[in-house]
Copies of this chain bind each other. A is one copy, B any other.
Amino acid sequence: MPETGSVDRFRLNARPNDRKYMTTLDTADLAAPTTIEEFRERLSGISEGLPRRLRQCADHIAANIDRIAVSTVAELAAGADVPPSALMRFCQILGYSGFSEMQKLFRDAYAPGFPDYSTRLKNLKETGAGTPSALLGEFIEAGRLSLEALAKSADEAALAQAVVLLAAADTVHIIGLRRAFPVAAYLAYVFDKMSVPAMLHEGTGKLDHRHALRPGDAVLAITFAPYSDETIALAQHARDQGLPVVALTDRITSPLARAGDAILTVPEVDFGAFRSLSATLALAIALAVAVGSARG
C-alpha cells in the first residue's frame, strides 16, 4: 500500500519512517474518541505540531465544542476561517470517517431521553429474567432517572406561582383519580398535617363535589395521560368560576394545562400503564410543604 495522502501521516496505520521529510508532529492516532472527555483530551494532545489550517480548526473547535452538535461543516469552517475541506480533513485526522460521525457523538451525548421502558420491561418479562429483584432494579432506576430529570427541568417560576395561589386559598380542593390518586391522597395527608384546609375529591358519585367549590378556594388538579375527564371537568369548572387552578400534569400539551393558572409538569418515566411517581411525589410534597409554611 503506497502512501496515498497526507492525512495518513497523522493516523493510526501510518508507517512512521518511510519518508524523507517530517515537518510536523507524528501523531499516530488511535481510534476516534467515543466520549466527549476523550475528545477533549485528543484535541489538546494533537493541536501542537499541526499545520496552519488544521491548527485553526483545532482551535476553533476547542473554543466552540458545544456548538458542534448544532452546526454544519460550512458554519464551523467559516468560524475557523478555513475552507470546508480543511475541516473535513481535521475530522478524519481525529479518527472519524467524516464530520457527520464526529457530530453524532455530540448529538447523542446531549440527548437526555429516557430509555424506552415499556419495551424494556416487556423484554424483561418475556426473557424470563423477570425475577422480582430484576423488576425492582428497573423500577429503582426509573425512579432515579425521573428525579434527575425533574431536577433539570423543574420550572421554578411556575412552582413559586403555584405556592402563592394555594397559600392564598381558603380551602384547597385536591383532585386526582386513578394513577394520580395516590399523589392526591398524599397531598391531602400532608396538607392535613400542616393544618392547611384541604379537601380530597374522590371520583365516586360523579360530579357532586363541584358544589363544594366556594369563592376564595383554589383547586389543585392532577392527571396524566390518558387524562381523566372528571379531573379536567372539575378544573375547568373551577376556572369558569374564577377560582385559581394549579395543574400537575405530564406535558404542557395536556388538556389540563389549558385550565391551569400555574402549570407544573413532571417528567416521569412511564411503563405502559404504570409510572414510578417518584418525581411527581417529590414535586407534590415540596409544593405542599411550601404552601404550609407560607401560611405560617
Whole-angstrom distance between the alpha carbons of A252 and B131 in the complex?
23
> A97-120: which residues lie under 8 A (CB-CB) from chain B?
106-107, 110-117, 120
Q: Which of B48, B142, B281 contacts A255 (CB 8 A)?
A: B48
A64 to B253, CA, bound (A): 12
Complex Cα gap A263–B44 (Å):
11
A40 to chain B, nearest CB (A): 6
8 A Cβ contacts from A251-268 to B:
251-255, 257-258, 263
Partner of A135, one of B113, B136, B272, B286: B286
Does A125 lie within 8 Å of B43, measured CB to CB? no
> For A22, what are the chain B residues with a Cβ–Cβ distance below 8 Å?
none
> Given contacts A59-B253, A63-B251, A182-B183, are A285 and B274 in contact (CB under 8 A)?
yes
Check A281–B276 contact: CB distance below 8 A. Answer: yes
| CB proximity to B under 8 Å, residues A136-170 | 136-140, 142-144, 147-148, 150-152, 154, 156, 159-160, 162-163
Is the Cβ of A278 less than 8 Å from the Cβ of B143?
yes
What DSSP secondary structure best describes chain A's contact surface?
helix
Pick from B110, B143, B154: contact of A124, CB under 8 Å: B154
One digit per residue, 1 when the CB lies within 8 angstroms of any chain B CB and 0 when it does not, for chain A 197-218 equals 0000000000000000000000
Contacts of A282 on B, CB cut-off 8 Å?
136, 139-140, 142-143, 276, 278
Question: Are B115 and A253 interface neighbours, CB within 8 A?
Answer: no
Question: Which chain B positions have C-beta within 8 A of A44?
Answer: 252-254, 257-258, 263
CA distance A124 to B154 in the complex (A): 9
- Assess the B278–A147 pair: CB atoms within 8 A: yes
Q: Give the residues in chain B near A111, CB-CB below 8 Å.
A: 66-67, 70
Which of A1-9, A10-18, A184-192, A237-245 is found at the contact surface with chain B?
Answer: A184-192
With A66-B113, A120-B152 already in contact, 13 other A-B pairs whose C-beta atoms are closer than 8 Å = A44-B257, A127-B156, A132-B159, A136-B283, A139-B286, A139-B289, A142-B282, A143-B278, A143-B282, A144-B144, A179-B186, A181-B185, A181-B186
